[in-house]
Homo-oligomer: A and B are copies of this chain.
Amino acid sequence: MNLTEQQLDEIAALRAREAPTRRATVPALEELLYQPLPVLDHGFVRVIDYMGDDAAIVQAARVSYGAGTRKVSEDAALIRYLMRHRHTTPFEMCEIKYHVRLPIFVARQWIRHRTANVNEISARYSILDREFYLPAPEALAAQSTTNRQGRGAVLEGEQAARVLDVLREDALRCHDHYRDLLEPHDAAPGLARELARMNLTLNTYTQWYWKCDLHNLLHFLALRCEAHAQYEIRVYAERMLETVQAWVPATYAAFRDCRLGAVTFTAPMLAVLRRMLAGQTVTQPDSGLGKREWAEMLAALGQTLPD
């Protein structure tokens, strides 16, 4: 993550300003405000603004005239109850805004979450920086042999070097040509920016402002912190989860227990579970579950598949 002097100065200027407010304020998140939190090789997440705190969720759930909170422990219990029973609207009463730098192929996954507000830098208007994502050694993985959309073993040695060389050289060449296309040649003017950008590779970094309410942010994080999410978006989600922990600790704790660490059992799984608890031995063939659903259930119970 390399920022220019000017960018660092602008960030420092924002962090230096301070004003009194009557609004709900969270010191732990104020501490993080505007700071670029590094992600991947050149990406970052910055919290730009926020509205509300744990107490604002309680206040909205109670439609109260005042702060709405009672004891901290009671508030936390209410928040956990709301989370467990998917009473989602009070969580929508908090809002957060990020500035994110991310590779275009990650941005294309991310934007599928529609309930957010987005302002992306426009390559019709601006020229994109010469920065692109190259996987770190531990992230350079082979195609999974068991999961059509997953990763397998990490590539190593010459194979890894060869892959990185290709990615680096193609990205560099494409960006250099992009810049060249934009330049006037002889008497002729440069290519329109909105056309030249098509020569960039999908690992080029873009940036956006992204704003979301807490409920929809948690939905995003539940999907993107999950083990099956692509590594390159998961690391963004994990960074953002840290900011959620600083911002709304009671909500974070409930989310960790009731969403991230929770498992949904289907009706046939529940039937199997009851038989198991009654002391029966159940095997996949007599479980009524398909092989995949059976394996998912065992995994949820922390059991490994018998040979």
Contacts and interface: CB of A to CB of B under 8 A. Distances in A.
Main secondary structure of the interface of A (DSSP, over half): mixed
A209 interface: yes
A132 to B, nearest CB: 8
A276 to B, nearest CB: 6
A20 to B, nearest CB: 5
A201 to B, nearest CB: 6
Contacts of A256: 267
B51 A151 contact: no
A159 interface: yes
Contact of A188 (B142, B185, B207): B142
A273 interface: yes
Contacts of A144: 192
A174 B201 contact: yes
B270 A152 contact: no
Contact of A264 (B67, B163, B263): B263
Contacts of A163: 181, 191
Instruction: Place the interface of chain A in its size category.
Output: 35 or more
A303 B277 CA distance: 10
A266 B270 contact: no
Interface of A: 3, 6-7, 9-11, 13-15, 17-25, 30, 33-34, 48-52, 56, 59-61, 63-67, 77, 81, 84, 86, 89-90, 92-93, 95, 97, 99, 103-105, 107-108, 111-112, 114-115, 117-122, 124-125, 133, 135, 140-145, 148-153, 155, 159, 162-163, 166-167, 170-171, 173-174, 177, 180-182, 185-186, 188-195, 197-203, 207-209, 211, 213, 223, 230, 256-258, 260-270, 273-274, 276-277, 290, 292-293, 296, 300-303
15 contacts: A18-B21, A18-B22, A20-B25, A22-B30, A89-B117, A89-B118, A111-B111, A150-B194, A151-B195, A198-B202, A201-B201, A262-B264, A263-B265, A277-B277, A277-B303
